[in-house]
Amino acid sequence: MDLSKKKCKPCEGGIAPLDHEEVSEYIKYIRDDWKATENHKLSKDYSFVNYKHTMDFVNKVADLAEEEGHHPVMHVYYGKVIIELWTHAIRGLSENDFILASKIDKL
Amino acid sequence: MDLSKKKCKPCEGGIAPLDHEEVSEYIKYIRDDWKATENHKLSKDYSFVNYKHTMDFVNKVADLAEEEGHHPVMHVYYGKVIIELWTHAIRGLSENDFILASKIDKL
């Protein structure tokens, strides 16, 4: 399944977050350096040689987030960005998070 | 004292971080919504109406950081940015942090 070809769908709640089994299935389709924390958050660290490269990545992720209507949290250091993904409206993970993870990895 | 008129100086260690008394003095010269945590970090939350405004601010801070050669940590949410400032090389606060805080407030 190529999640990067899918598009995030608006999510305003009313659905259950993915359970442990579903998270275990979806996580196979993104790179194995993404971590799922207690089934409710995906996170990954990215390293860069300097601040310019760091900010270039941050802006690409921000543009993608606006296109998809789904916004990760970014913790921005001099040469590192930690991306965190979850679906606010359902307080857990949805397919959207895995779609965005897949697309971020292709930036 | 208008800290925003000063310029950050390169700091590669070898000096002591500011002590409690010095932090209490410097903090008078930046806006009072900056918090100093245990004298070793300055932090402030900024709120925005949408992601575009959030990212505009993030990029202005990043440009300023490059000009000053002093880079804050930024925690970037949909409509909020938390800025954290400290001087890595001395594991605490230096005048640079207050200069940058003052300049960020003028963006």
Determine the residue among B11, B49, B77, B88 to mutate to test chain A binding: the one whose Cβ has the most chain A Cβ atoms within 10 Å.
B77
Question: pLDDT tens for residues B34-60?
Answer: 999 988 999 999 999 999 999 999 999
Could you tell me if A37 and A97 are in contact, meaning their C-beta atoms sit under 8 angstroms apart? no
Burial profile A59-77: b = 16 or more Cβ within 10 angstroms, e = fewer: eebbebbeebebbbbbbbb
Residue from the list A52, A66, A74 with its beta carbon closest to the beta carbon of B76: A74
Q: Do A73 and B76 touch (CB under 8 A)?
A: yes
Residue A55, pLDDT above cutoff 90:
yes
Question: pLDDT tens for residues B2-20?
Answer: 999 999 988 888 899 999 9
- Tell which residue, A48, A23, A49, A21, has the closest CA to residue A34: A23
Contacts of A76 in chain B (CB under 8 A): 58, 73-76
- Tell which residue, A43, A41, A44, A45, has the closest CA to residue A88: A41
Q: Do A52 and B65 touch (CB under 8 A)?
A: no
Quote the mean pLDDT of chain A. Answer: 95
Residue of A nearest to B71 (CA): A78
Distances (CA, A) of B66 to A22, A46, B55, B94, B105: 43, 20, 16, 17, 16
Q: Could you write out the three-class secondary structure of B80-107?
A: EEEEEECEHHHCECCHHHHHHHHHHHCC
Question: pLDDT tens for residues A11-52?
Answer: 888 899 999 999 999 999 999 999 999 889 999 999 999 999
Range list of H helices, A16-68? 20-26, 51-68
Q: Does the beta carbon of A74 lie under 8 angstroms from any beta carbon of chain B?
A: yes
Q: How far out from the chain centre does Cα B82 lie?
A: 10
Residue A67 exposure: Cα atoms within 13 Å on the Cβ side: 12
